[in-house]
Amino acid sequence: MYNQSLKVFVLLLLFLSTEIIAQKKDKNTAPPAQEAKKPEGKKEPKPYKKVIDSTAITQKGLIDVHKVADKYLFEIPNSLIGKEIMTTTRYSKTPAGGGIFGGEEVNRQVVRFEKGLNNTIILRSITYVIMAKEEDKPITQSVRNSSADPIIGIYDILAYKKDEAGKENVASVIDMTPTFEADVQTFSLDPIKKQLLSIQAFQKDKSFIQYVKSFPINTEIRTTKTFTTVAPQISRTPAPKIGVDLPAGLDAGVVTMELNTSFILLPEKPMRKRTFDKRVGYFANRYSVFEEESHKADTDIFAVRWRLEPKNEEDAQKQKRGELIEPLKPIVYYIDPATPDKWKPFIKQGIDDWQVAFEGAGWKNAIRGEYWPENDPTMSLEDARFSVLRYFAADIQNAYGPNVHDPRTGEIMESHIGWYHNIMSLLRDWYLIQTAAVDPKARNKKFDDQLMGELIRFVAAHEVGHTLGLRHNMGASNATPVEMLRNPEYQKKNGHTSSIMDYARFNYVAQPGDGVTDLFPRIGDYDKWAIKWGYSYFADAKSEEEEKALLNEMTKEAYKNRRLWFGTESSPFDPRYQTEDLGDNAMKASEYGIKNLKYILPNLIEWSKEKGEDYSELEDMYTALVGQFRRYMGHVTKNVGGIYETPKTYDMQGNEYETVPSSIQNEAVDFLNKQLFKTPTWLLDQNILAKIYPDKGVELMRGIQEGTLSSLMSLDRMARLMETASLGKDNYSVDELMSDLKNGIFSELKSNTPIDVYRRNLQKAFVSKLIDAIKLDKSAVANFNGRRIVMVDTDLPSIARGHLIELKNQLKVANTTTTDRLSKFHIADLIARIDQALNPK
């Protein structure tokens, strides 16, 4: 065994030695030339005319497209190599029942064609996460090493196109057919959308390219795609769930949709970015920026807006002197031809209403609405060159205003506003419930065309505002004093909110007899200021930094006017920034609102009646009225534990955060005790309930009262109250809140009066909240400004325990004096519950 092993070892050593010796050539001897091996099966480029022959149907444009037999050959010019292209994919046609509609955006991505190896073209998907400040610094390479973009396609070059002299290659011909016949995610639905729609496998044999069209600055690809669907789970519910089980999928096992993908070249000269300012409400883009001389990565945040520039230097100087000028490229929104004809003029007016705001920024004719031209083969509703308000045949009560923008600079390229048919039903309910006390035209089941048209105009203007880059300004309505909402002259001049971008629908505060007739939002003072901030052209500013300095001075000056403030839609604790609210005091405004609801409620039967119809309209109206009442309770509740959040910079006076004064928080709790916790029996109109509900409103009232009580005593609010109370004894505290609630909710204990079913339910709910607070464990966590607060380790359980003990003693006294049978049972039950909670063993 040993000898055999030695023999093998010697033979191996001789073999290796031979290899080593063989490699020791004379260093002056050049190795023989070797020809690079061609990839197996790879075809070399052919002459251009052999590929693009006489049968080719050619379309010239951003990308010249040649249809040869059943292939779509894209001619990629060298000038396009390395350039960034925005691709936007939209539904053209959709299966019914899934909550998706033709015209809506499916996917959006920037792509780039690059030269590859061995006569290939690469297509990459570009993601903007980190950027280098300067291209010629070493750190740029580090950024590139950490931001590789994925390859979504590699294409053999079928032919090169030569220049006129026949020497230089100026373009490469590739076959893009397989990409668009397949289900490439960049140009299709992403996995989340497929999951939501229960879409499963792509069916290539039932999918195809309909056509490709090319235009001077864009190329459009229309495809039909078919997918199998996931079998629905067996359920006792007979009807499929909308958005989960597409009816077509249940019928055929597959769903088919049409998609349109637009390729549009991003600007050769990027628009100058406008630095985001949180004092003005613009949507923003951001990415991390690395600079050679910086000590840390910076975040570049910039506003999203259209590109408005003078046509020439002469116009720029005119504008500088205060003259209005027309922009080089105005903002144009087309109205979907599928829109009912009678609403088109109102939608156009809603778009044109923004002209006055742009005039304040130095532009005339900067924005307009246009009707879609009929029978124009050069235009498509999905074409990325055109911004369109799309009308959807859907029972959704909504509209929305998105935009497609250059991720490098925030420049808006186009927008497709979504408009669902049933928005009119929502507008009817809003306007009737909020204004019918003062506007006779609102006292109908169906509004006349003029009134509905004006409502549509308002919504159109709001959604266009979003597509101009404007966010919701939820603080705008807070700039109007409540009593001014009842002043007809003030309303005629200013309206009830300073911004149409607020969710301040209609003036629900104005009372019968006030004479207020201006009840709609309009383009307000804030909107004009925000457009001025976003669209003023600074001819003399040489950089973003110079522009930023000029804008900062403008903003500081504007902040002297409360009507020009922006109030974020995302503040969880500032009561000035709320949806659907009006005025500078929620308690006063809500009290006026409730007076109007009390007038409207008894009239709902008359206003909803129609011979031969059931009471479904009455139910809708009543539900809307109850919803409005709930909103008032929510508006008031947000004052408790509230913190004002006013964006500031170092060169402005005052703090950014201030605690809502104790007097206002007291006022809020007092309002809730009087308007909600003292049962609002007026809301339970039995003449109406008997027609729409089998119950008499006990559970309805429980839901409203318990919902508000749960919000008031939520852990997040408790955490804020404890935090702000620590700043001084003058601030409202958890102890004061519980005392105020207890005194209001258990007022019968002092007056020795019977406790009705509504109050018994409410009192049990309050005691349950206190018991929950003393049973907290480590899993009970509050969130305050991103911090996780373990509430069992705070004063909350101690305060709750103290109030339970006090309440137990009060209940014992009351139990000896009450004579009402159910009240006595109820009190005894509460005492037992508290005893069990305090002494669980």
User: Lowest-pLDDT range, 3-7, 155-159, 230-234?
Assistant: 3-7
Instruction: Select from 50, 87, 48, 40 the least CA-distant residue to 64.
Output: 48
Rounded to whole angstroms, the Cα distance separating 503 from 89 reads 30
User: Lowest-pLDDT range, 385-399, 543-557, 662-676?
Assistant: 385-399
627-650 average pLDDT score: 96
* pLDDT reported for residue 6: 38
Name every residue whose Cβ is closer than 8 Å to that of residue 188 and which is 6 or more positions away in sequence: 89, 106, 107, 225, 259
> Would you state the torsion angle of the CA atoms of residues 98, 104, 106, 108, taken in this order, to the nearest 10 degrees?
-160
pTM over 0.75: yes
Contact (CB, 8 A) for 319 and 537: yes
**Residue 190 CA, distance from chain mean position:** 18
3-state secondary structure of 558: helix
Predicted confidence band of residue 138 (pLDDT cuts 50, 70, 90): low
Q: Quick: pLDDT tens for 304-326.
A: 999 999 999 999 999 999 999 99
Q: Quick: pLDDT tens for 195-210.
A: 888 888 999 999 999 9
Listing DSSP states for 452-474 in one string gives HHHHHHHHHHHHHHHHTTBPP-T
* Beta strands in 26-145, from DSSP E residues, in sequence order: 57-59, 64-68, 71-77, 84-93, 105-115, 120-126, 130-132
* pLDDT reported for residue 299: 74
3-state secondary structure of 389: strand
Name every residue whose Cβ is closer than 8 Å to that of residue 446 and which is 6 or more positions away in sequence: 428
Indicate if the pLDDT at residue 672 is higher than 80. Answer: yes
Predicted confidence band of residue 221 (pLDDT cuts 50, 70, 90): very high
168-184 average pLDDT score: 95
Indicate if the pLDDT at residue 368 is higher than 60. Answer: yes
Rounded to whole angstroms, the Cα distance separating 314 from 826 reads 83
Predicted confidence band of residue 472 (pLDDT cuts 50, 70, 90): very high
> Would you state the torsion angle of the CA atoms of residues 800, 802, 808, 813, taken in this order, to the nearest 10 degrees?
-140
* pLDDT reported for residue 24: 36
Rounded to whole angstroms, the Cα distance separating 345 from 623 reads 32
Eight-state DSSP code of residue 148: P
More confident of the two residues 32 and 291: 291
Tell me what percent of the residues of the chain surpass a pLDDT of 90. 78
Contact (CB, 8 A) for 412 and 306: yes
Q: What are phi and psi of 160, to 5 degrees?
A: -105, 140
Indicate if the pLDDT at residue 35 is higher than 90. Answer: no
Rounded to whole angstroms, the Cα distance separating 125 from 149 reads 6
Structure tokens at 753: 């009066």
3-state secondary structure of 369: strand
Indicate if the pLDDT at residue 450 is higher than 60. Answer: yes
Rounded to whole angstroms, the Cα distance separating 769 from 805 reads 14
Rounded to whole angstroms, the Cα distance separating 248 from 407 reads 37
CA distances from 234 to 194, 198, 239, 241, 245 (A): 20, 14, 11, 12, 12
Tell me what percent of the residues of the chain surpass a pLDDT of 70. 90
More confident of the two residues 145 and 823: 823
Eight-state DSSP code of residue 676: I
Instruction: Select from 642, 644, 648, 635 the least CA-distant residue to 586.
Output: 635
Eight-state DSSP code of residue 170: E
Helices (H) and strands (E) in the chain, counts: 26, 27
Q: Identity (one letter) of the amino acid at 143? A: V
Predicted confidence band of residue 783 (pLDDT cuts 50, 70, 90): very high
Predicted confidence band of residue 719 (pLDDT cuts 50, 70, 90): very high
Q: How high does pLDDT run on average in the chain?
A: 89
Contact (CB, 8 A) for 176 and 343: no
* pLDDT reported for residue 790: 95
User: Lowest-pLDDT range, 241-245, 365-369, 513-517?
Assistant: 241-245
Per-residue b or e along 504-538, where b marks 16 or more CB atoms closer than 10 Å to that residue's CB: bbbbbbbeeebebebbbbbbbbbbbbbbbbbbbbe
597-617 average pLDDT score: 95
**Residue 833 CA, distance from chain mean position:** 45
Predicted confidence band of residue 253 (pLDDT cuts 50, 70, 90): confident
* pLDDT reported for residue 103: 86
* pLDDT reported for residue 119: 94
Predicted confidence band of residue 144 (pLDDT cuts 50, 70, 90): low
Q: Quick: pLDDT tens for 528-566.
A: 999 999 999 999 999 999 999 999 999 999 999 999 999
More confident of the two residues 607 and 240: 607
